[in-house]
A and B are shown apart, each in its own frame.
Chain A
Amino acid sequence: EAQVTQNPRYLITVTGKKLTVTCSQNMNHEYMSWYRQDPGLGLRQIYYSMNVEVTDKGDVPEGYKVSRKEKRNFPLILESPSPNQTSLYFCASSSLAGELTNEQFFGPGTRLTVL
């Protein structure tokens, strides 16, 4: 089954404790992206990646890191989480047709609470 998986689905942590949210897709997609979703602010893009070893900032990259060492995986790293990073996080992937980005397939989401 074609899917994007994220782990963990729920996480409660404390300020300053480094964490990683994993994302994996089995569709051989080139493009992967991370979003956060907050009430009233909608989905905001954190980072995206066009292919292995190619990443770029979205609208809200501060406080986050990503890496793309393998095509299927795109982990999101919070080196020193703060309470304002409490949010619902989504990973997404899509194929690339020429330079166009096709529909994105979204993961089930990770609800993060930073105390």
Chain B
Amino acid sequence: EDQVTQSPEALRLQEGESSSLNCSYTVSGLRGLFWYRQDPGKGPEFLFTLYSAGEEKEKERLKATLTKKESFLHITAPKPEDSATYLCAVLPSGGYQKVTFGTGTKLQVIP
């Protein structure tokens, strides 16, 4: 069974204090790993897709990296508007298109 574990559950940062969120996964084979951002009361919003170990993607203050067992979402010099819950999801290889999400990391950036 595919599993995705995100840590920490919650993270509180001062504005400008860089940090990383972790997503550990167990799948028989990985077709893709996704990062989403979710604001309270809204649907998740896509950030990145990573397909193979060693791959990195960046968007503004966010950088996602991927190894064979985990992914990191690095947040550099965060701002209060980066406060949200960040979700990780995996799509296994094979003929299915069943996506498994982690429970998320709730990030709060304090001015």
- List residues of chain A with CB under 8 Å of any chain B CB: 4, 31, 33, 35, 40-45, 48, 50, 56, 58-59, 90, 92, 99-109
Are B32 and A42 within 8 A (Cβ)?
A: no
Chain A: interface secondary structure? strand
Query: How many residue pairs, one in A and one in B, have C-beta atoms under 8 Å apart?
Result: 62
Binary per-residue interface labels of chain B (69-111) against chain A in the complex, 1 for a CB within 8 Å, 0 otherwise: 0000000000000000001010100001111111110000000
Q: Are B43 and A108 in contact (CB under 8 A)?
A: yes
Interface size on B, residues (CB 8 A): 23
Asked if residues A103 and B49 are in contact (CB atoms below 8 Å), the reply is yes
A104 touching B46 by the CB < 8 A rule? yes
Taking a contact as CB atoms closer than 8 A, the residue among A43, A92, A102 that contacts B87 in the complex is A43
Partner of A48, one of B42, B46, B97, B102: B97
Q: Report Cα–Cα, A16/B85, bound state, in Å.
A: 34
B44 and A31 contacting across the interface, CB-CB below 8 Å: no
